[in-house]
Amino acid sequence: MQFHASRQGFWTPKSRVVAAVSGGSDSVALTFILDALAQRGYLQLAGLAHLHHHIRGHAADEDCTFVEALAERLFLPCRVEHADIPAQARQAGQSLEVAGRNARLDFYRRAVVHFGAESVALAHTRGDQAETVLLRLTRGAGPRGLGGMAPRSGDRIRPLLELSRQELREWLEALGEPWREDATNNDLAVARNRIRHQVIPHLALVNPRVEDALSRAARIQSADADLLEALAAEQAGRCLTVAPQGAKVDLDRLRQLPEALSRRVVLRALTTVDPLHTYGWDDSDVVLSLADATRRHVKRVQVELNAGFVVLTLKETIPSTADNAEVADSVELDVPGSGCDPSGRWIVDAEGPMPPKSAGAPAAPRAVLDAAALGRHLTIRGWRPGDRVQPLGLGGRKKLQDVFVDRKVPRDERALVPVVLDARERVAWVAGHVVGEPFRVTPHSVSVVVLTLRR
């Protein structure tokens, strides 16, 4: 096994590095590699960090015990934290994978501070990189997304990206070192596991070195993305003007640019106006497809044409509303995509369309709806006098005001509840409360959309 840790400039002899260790083969191999490098003076291994996620019951307890014993054998300190990921996922209306990732990122930041370290080393391998590229490809990612995981992301480093899981396991076996197996890695309900156990083996029939090929493609895409971003920054300097109230883009200059650059200039303008949100391809589409005298909203940014410029303004506030007053502004929500209250009080995320089995069980503030009935272009707004919904399982329609009374929503909070409508302005979801009967998932549903409310 050849290891070129110095290639990415991960550390110096004075660097303090924390190893994130789950107990699996990859992270155990990472621990021994870092320990060997530390003994040779390449770095300082500050300690091990393990997050007990409470997903696998007694098996997770044994993982924790294994990691603590490993740290003790190597005479290294070990920081263990506990996080009830299933509870956090239910509370946030997220999947276990998303909730687990968020918890790990928070834990890594605390571990770096705790150990007084410069970085935390993660055990992602070449196979993980290949899986990431394929997953992002299925979601329509561009060069930046298809660049996969970066060797360095802030204070997180990935020294093993050029090594395969098989190489690491063979190395551990030669050392006589055990590791823990995580049964959830075989759960085919998880998209990454389906990629690992089903898709990549089939691709290997076409190219036995498919992981190598995908990793190489990721490096190429990442380098291309860096170049495009640099060129877009140069062009933005020529056609983007920033003002206290927002920004404006010279439309003639924008239209003269290749699409790859014009989109990046638009995204740069959007994030300049609203740095708190992430903007993507669909958001740039909204701006680039503006017709004369059109005004639209992209998340919290109002976009309009004015005297040859695309003018972008951050809408930080909206008029206060009484119990049954009309909210002036509606927010567009494409599937997939996100819609944000202009005042920042809520965000509704739309994921999908996806197979029904991939959506998981609905839990407030989350709803699973039939994709065919819902459509791809939705609107979010506050409730209005006369709004009615046909609640799930009921034959007739009901006033939203009565829904709020039945669910004991305080009068001063009703204006804060987002209402999601389809293209025919039918109420599909009173966010966090009621799903419309026409959008229910049935045994005949081919695909579904997951809506999640975030505050």
CA-closest candidate to residue 120, choices 157, 150, 154: 157
State whether 293 and 427 are in the same domain: no
State whether 296 and 337 are in the same domain: no
| Alpha-carbon span 290 to 303, nearest angstrom | 9
Helix axes 281-288, 259-273, angle to 10 degrees: 100
Q: What angle do CA 317, 318, 324 make, to 5 degrees?
A: 150
Alpha helices of 368-453 — where are they, by DSSP H? 371-374, 400-406
| Alpha-carbon span 305 to 287, nearest angstrom | 10
Which residues in the chain show pLDDT less than 70?
1-8, 244, 276, 291-293, 316-329, 342-344, 360-364, 395
Under the phi-then-psi rule, with left for phi > 0, alpha for psi from -120 to 50, and beta for the rest, what region is 257? beta
Q: Specify the CATH number for the domain of residue 92.
A: 3.40.50.620
198 is a domain residue? yes
CA-closest candidate to residue 175, choices 4, 18, 33: 33
Residue 422 CB neighbour total at 10 angstroms: 20
State whether 353 and 405 are in the same domain: yes
| Alpha-carbon span 14 to 24, nearest angstrom | 28
Residue type, 83: A
The predicted pLDDT at position 322 comes to: 38
Q: Specify the CATH number for the domain of residue 260.
A: 1.20.59.20
State whether 366 and 304 are in the same domain: no
- 52: helix, coil or strand? strand
Max intra-chain CA distance, the chain: 74
The tokens describing 113, both together, are: 């501070």
State whether 412 and 291 are in the same domain: no
Domain boundary among 287, 314, 341: 314
The tokens describing 417, both together, are: 């509840």
For residues 203 and 210, is the Cβ–Cβ distance under 8 A? yes
State whether 145 and 185 are in the same domain: yes
State whether 176 and 83 are in the same domain: yes
325 is a domain residue? no
The predicted pLDDT at position 325 comes to: 38
Residue type, 412: D
The predicted pLDDT at position 191 comes to: 87
Domain boundary among 314, 342, 364: 314
Q: What is the pTM of this model?
A: 0.65
State whether 65 and 130 are in the same domain: yes
The predicted pLDDT at position 266 comes to: 92
State whether 348 and 309 are in the same domain: no
The tokens describing 14, both together, are: 């004075």
Rg of the chain in Å (alpha carbons): 25
399 is a domain residue? yes
The predicted pLDDT at position 71 comes to: 96
- 345: helix, coil or strand? coil
The predicted pLDDT at position 329 comes to: 59
Q: State the total domains in the chain.
A: 3
Residue type, 298: V
State whether 168 and 285 are in the same domain: no
82 is a domain residue? yes
319 is a domain residue? no
State whether 130 and 48 are in the same domain: yes
Domain boundary among 186, 219, 252: 219
211 is a domain residue? yes
CA-closest candidate to residue 272, choices 235, 240, 227: 240
Range of the domain at 25: 5-219
Q: Specify the CATH number for the domain of residue 337.
A: 3.50.40.10
The predicted pLDDT at position 119 comes to: 93
| Alpha-carbon span 346 to 352, nearest angstrom | 20
Which residues fall within 8 angstroms of residue 12, CB to CB, at 6 or more apart? 43
State whether 188 and 293 are in the same domain: no
234 is a domain residue? no
392 is a domain residue? yes
